[in-house]
Amino acid sequence: MSILGGGIFKGMKVTLWNFVLSYFRRDRLTTNDYSWRPDGDLPQGIGDYPKEEGEQLSDTTTVTNYSRNFPMLLHDGGEPMDTVRCVACQICERECPPQCIYIEKDYDENGKYIKRPAIFDIDVSVCMSCQICVEVCPFDAIVMNSQFELSTPDRFGGLLVRRDDLLKSNDYYHQIHPEEAAARDQKMAAEKAAKEAKKKAAAEKAKAAAEKKAAEAAKGDAE
Partner 1 sequence: MSELSHEPLLQQFPDAEWDEAAGAVIAPLGQARTVAEWLLGQGVDYCSNVTGVDYLEHEVKEKITNDAGEVETVTHTEPGRIDVVYHLYSMQNKTGPLVLKQRTGRDNAEAESLTPVWRSCDLQEREVFDLFGVNFKGHPDQRRILMWDEFEGHPMRRDYTEPFDYEWEPTPHNEILEKHQKGKVIV
Partner 2 sequence: MSTAAAPNYELLQQDGLETSLLEVSMGPHHPSTHGVFRMDVKLDGETVVDLRPVFGYLHRNHEKLAENMTYLSSMPFTDRLDYFNSMSNNWAYALAAEKLIEVEVPERAEYLRVIMAELTRLVNHVSLVGFFLNDLGALGTPLMYAFREREKILDLFEQASGARMMCNYFRFGGLRNDVPEGWLERAGEVVDRFPSFLDEYEQLLCENEIILSRTQGVGNLPRELAISAGVTGPMLRASGVAYDLRKVDQYGIYDRFKFRVPHTDGDTGDCYDRFMIRMLEMRESIEILKQALAGIPKGEIMGNAPRVFKPKPAEAYGRIEGPKGELGFYLIADGTPKPYRYRVRPPSLINLTVLRDMCLGGKIADTVIILGSIDIVLGEVDR
Q: By CB under 8 A, name the binding residues for partner 2.
A: 4-8, 10-11, 13-15, 18, 29-30, 32, 34, 36-37, 64, 66-68, 95-97, 128-132, 135, 144, 179
Q: What's the closest the beta carbon of residue 112 comes to partner 2, in angstroms?
A: 30
Q: What's the closest the beta carbon of residue 182 comes to partner 2, in angstroms?
A: 12
Residues in CB range of 27: below 8 A, 6 or more apart: 35, 36
Q: Angle at the Cα of 67 (from 61 to 69), degrees rounded to 5? A: 85
Q: Given the complex with partner 1, which of 124 and 137 has the nearer CB atom? A: 124
Tell me the three state secondary structure of residue 39.
helix
Residue 186 sits in the site that holds partner 1 (CB under 8 A): no
Residue 152 sits in the site that holds partner 1 (CB under 8 A): no
Helix (H) or strand (E) holding 97: none
Helix extents (H) in the chain: 6-21, 91-95, 132-136, 163-166, 170-176, 178-222
Q: Choose the one of partner 2, partner 1, none that binds residue 30, judging by a C-beta under 5 to 8 angstroms depending on kind.
A: partner 2
Q: Given the complex with partner 1, which of 57 and 160 has the nearer CB atom? A: 160
Q: Which stretch binds partner 1 (CB under 8 A): 119-127, 133-141, 176-184, 209-217?
A: 119-127
Size of the site for partner 1 (CB under 8 A): 11
Helix (H) or strand (E) holding 169: strand 167-169
Give dist(CA 212, CA 194) in Å, integer: 27
Q: Angle at the Cα of 32 (from 30 to 37), degrees rounded to 5? A: 90
Residue pair 100/123 in contact (Cβ under 8 Å)? The answer is: yes
Contacting residue, 101, 127, 133, 144, with partner 1 by CB under 8 A: 101
Give dist(CA 106, CA 24) in Å, integer: 61
Residue 121 sits in the site that holds partner 1 (CB under 8 A): yes
Residue 95 sits in the site that holds partner 1 (CB under 8 A): no
Q: Choose the one of partner 2, partner 1, none that binds residue 156, judging by a C-beta under 5 to 8 angstroms depending on kind.
A: partner 1
**Bridging pattern class, strands 71-75 and 142-144:** antiparallel
Contacting residue, 126, 134, 136, 150, with partner 1 by CB under 8 A: 126
Tell me how many helices (H) and strands (E) the chain has: 6, 6
Q: Which stretch binds partner 1 (CB under 8 A): 16-24, 26-34, 71-79, 149-157?
A: 149-157
Residues that bind partner 1 (CB under 8 A): 99-102, 121, 123, 126, 155-157, 160
